[in-house]
Amino acid sequence: MSETLKNIAKSFIGESIAAVKYSLFAEIAEKEGLIEAKNLFIKTAEQEKNHAKIQFKFLSELCGKKDLETLKVEVNIPVQLGDTIQNINAAINGEIYEFKNMYPDFAVKAEKEGYSDIAAKFQALARAEEGHAEKYSLLMKKIKNR
């Protein structure tokens, strides 16, 4: 199985987890009365869900071509839930890892394996995650300066 296929699967899982986690973070922010944080988590969760959908479609197409019905990959799942400050920090760290390491690595591998279209998609995702990191960082500053 190509490394790219596994990386798309990892991306699908990571994006799905991010969508669920940000939804949970939004609930916590709401309880703490941090409405701006709640709104940003909800908006970003929706975007992560869209990323997951895109990756699932790629995965489905590629697996279809290879006559694969299921895929097996190993992933690390970050399992901590904190208060909103901790959750924004976790979100920033996750986004930074994605745009600085994960997606650029995935893009290089996809290019090497001849999947230029998928490499471009990984690069586009890296840029989207960079935008998320910036928005969360800005939010963190605002909350700390209150």
Q: Which of 9, 37, 48, 115 binds Fe ion (CB under 5 A)?
A: 48
Q: Which of 10, 21, 38, 51 binds Fe ion (CB under 5 A)?
A: 51
Pick the closer one to Fe ion by CB: 66 or 127.
127
For residue 19, what are its two tokens?
Answer: 């969508």
Tell me the HSE value of 98 on the side-chain side, using a 13 A CA sphere: 28
Contacting Fe ion within 86-145 (CB under 5 A) = 95, 129, 132
SS3 at position 83: coil
Backbone angles phi, psi at 108, to 5 degrees: -60, -45
Residue with tokens 């197409």: 61
Neighbours of 120 (CB within 10 A): 13
Q: Does 21 bind Fe ion (CB under 5 A)?
A: no
Pick the closer one to Fe ion by CB: 32 or 130.
130
Listed ranges 2-10, 32-40, 45-53, 107-115: which one lies at the site for Fe ion (CB under 5 A): 45-53
Q: Does 41 bind Fe ion (CB under 5 A)?
A: no
The contact set with Fe ion (CB under 5 A) reads 15, 48, 51, 95, 129, 132
